[in-house]
Amino acid sequence: MGLNANDISESMYDIAEPRASAMIESLRAFGYNVQTAIADLIDNSISAGARNVWLSFCWDGANSYISIRDDGHGMTEAQLISAMRLGSQSPLEEREADDLGRFGLGLKTASFSQCRRLTVASRSENYAVAIRRWDLDYVNQVDEWRLLRLPAEGSIQKLNDLETMPCGTIVLWECLDRIVGEVKTNDQKAQDDFLETVEIIENHLAMVFHRFLEKRDRLKLWINQHSVKPWNPFLPDAQATQILPLEPLTFNGETVRVQPYVLPHHSKIDLDTYNNAAGLNGWNAQQGFYVYRNERLLVAGDWLSLGGYRKDEHCKLARIQVDLPNSMDSDWNIDIKKSRARPPASLKEALKRIARLTRHRATDIYRHRGKIIVLKNAEKYVFPWDKKLRRGKVFYAVNQEHPLVQEVLNLPNTCQPVIRALLRLLEETVPVQQIWIDNSTEPEKQPQPFDGTSSEQVLEVMVEIYRALRKSGMTQEQARSRILTMEPFQHFETLAKTLSDQLILGNLA
């Protein structure tokens, strides 16, 4: 049975307030980086009904600053004081279904993690602009939770945009010790690093808020006056993207929606699309589950410690969207930074099953170069190479059933020792490891068969195969059809239709 507050007298307790100077510095260590910190502030703007958020990154050496302005409904002075209070709302309190917050700490901890001076100006409709400021150096001096009512000297002009707006909020970061430090304005390397940080932030926001940015009139983000374009990890508009069946999973009477995708093999999309789809960290790192809460991305590309799954090269096309309501925060162990989530035990088996099926489908696409092969007859595709096992080890052998190889093997007996020695040498020296390394590190540089080769040169090879098939007793039409079942001539249907006995005679002439 719990304690009743009315039964406890003043003589039975002490007030143990945390020391302001020690606590406020400790709050800087929540593990935010600059992009997750800014994303946390944009959550507040979205919850405030903002349709536009303007981010300004201003370089001036140690005096550089960042501001985040929105056109949301703003706050009155009383509301602003409450919002600036540490732990302004309990995570146990029931939230609106579309609320992106939880702990009542994000504005403060996200800001403190990057700067030593946080100023917030806000205006609610029909109210005057209200301003409050946390200055970490001042709190350290006085060792009290003194929330200042005025901006720092020289900072008021950075808040002026709010005067022309009916409502909205500006969050101003100054003294950017974690981003800039004590550098001079003419430090070119520091300025380049600052600009690179802006690019990292833009890419992160494009990913985290892509579902908001994709909807008309939902949200627009601006960075130094240019708009942020959404980055959708699932390539839903690509023709070759496979959208697997949606699976609704029930937990405590609520629904978790799981939508698997298998992205196209790089041979099925253009180079720009392929490079863009690699995301912030590259194809391998971006595979796995993408966990959203209220359409806001929390976790990007993670197998969630399910079944020992690793980020393997052959599964890099597998990406799975998971949608949660905000009532499941504690069940999924969502942290203050909104960058980690772990599923409840009762959902793990279902998620493992979905992951297994999606990875299997992605592996098939990866290993078969993205081709979905549908044969119109019973004949199998003919490949020049066969995968075989020898004493439990995989090796690759020249397919001696291939018509062109059979034609070579039918040459006079005097040629056979040299031909067979050459085939064996090729089989024993296939550079498997180097091919794997090259394809995994720079897949976009791996050409397709006959890439950049003229039609005439491709036709020369096809003619020799056609000749061999005709000699084996096939009709002209059978030979042409057979060639179209051979790797890689299924991509050269127009050329195959030109094959004929007359063409061979013409080549001989």
Residue 278 is assigned to a structural domain of this protein: yes
Are residues 311 and 400 both part of a single domain?
no
Residue 378: pLDDT over 70: no
Q: Which of 119-128, 359-368, 378-387 has the highest average model confidence (pLDDT)?
A: 119-128
CATH code for position 162: 3.30.565.10
Are residues 180 and 57 both part of a single domain?
yes
Strand blocks (E) in 144-206: 168-174
Count CA atoms closer than 13 A to 71's CA, side-chain side: 13
pLDDT per position as a tens digit, 105-136? 779 999 999 999 999 999 999 999 999 999 99
Are residues 187 and 285 both part of a single domain?
no
For 191, the token pair is 């300025």
Are residues 45 and 187 both part of a single domain?
yes
Count CA atoms closer than 13 A to 467's CA, side-chain side: 17
Residue 7 is assigned to a structural domain of this protein: no
Domain count within the chain = 3
Residue 143 is assigned to a structural domain of this protein: yes
Q: Which of 24-33, 151-160, 229-238 has the lowest mean pLDDT?
A: 24-33
Residue 429: pLDDT over 90: no
Residue 6 is assigned to a structural domain of this protein: no
Please tell me what DSSP assigns to residue 205: H
Q: Give the distance from CA 431 to its chain's centroid.
A: 32
Between strands 288-293 and 318-324, the pairing is parallel
- d(CA 197, CA 184) in angstroms, rounded, equals 17
pLDDT per position as a tens digit, 150-184? 999 999 999 999 999 999 999 999 999 999 999 99
Report yes or no on whether pTM surpasses 0.85. Answer: no
Q: What's the pLDDT at 505?
A: 67
Residue 139: pLDDT over 90: yes
Are residues 96 and 185 both part of a single domain?
yes
For 64, the token pair is 């550089």
Q: What's the pLDDT at 444?
A: 56
- d(CA 382, CA 265) in angstroms, rounded, equals 21
Strand blocks (E) in 201-251: 220-223, 226-227, 242-243, 247-251
Are residues 423 and 360 both part of a single domain?
no
Are residues 274 and 204 both part of a single domain?
no
For residue 319, what are the contacts with CB-CB under 8 A and spacing of at least 6?
233, 234, 260, 261, 262, 263, 286, 287, 288, 290, 301
Are residues 169 and 246 both part of a single domain?
no
Q: What's the pLDDT at 35?
A: 96
Residue 282 is assigned to a structural domain of this protein: yes
Are residues 296 and 395 both part of a single domain?
no
Residue 85 is assigned to a structural domain of this protein: yes
Boundary (domain end) residue, out of 180, 197, 227 = 227
Tell me the average pLDDT of the chain. 87
Q: Give the distance from CA 252 to its chain's centroid.
A: 29
Boundary (domain end) residue, out of 183, 200, 227 = 227
CATH code for position 276: 3.30.230
Are residues 180 and 258 both part of a single domain?
no
Residue 99 is assigned to a structural domain of this protein: yes
Q: What's the pLDDT at 376?
A: 37
Q: Give the distance from CA 184 to its chain's centroid.
A: 35
Residue 261 is assigned to a structural domain of this protein: yes
Mean pLDDT of 175-199: 96
- d(CA 62, CA 156) in angstroms, rounded, equals 18
Boundary (domain end) residue, out of 316, 340, 367 = 367
pLDDT per position as a tens digit, 299-355? 999 999 887 888 888 899 999 999 999 889 888 988 776 667 889 999 999 999 999
Are residues 347 and 406 both part of a single domain?
no
Are residues 166 and 29 both part of a single domain?
yes
> Where in the sequence is the domain holding 361, given as residue range(s)?
242-367
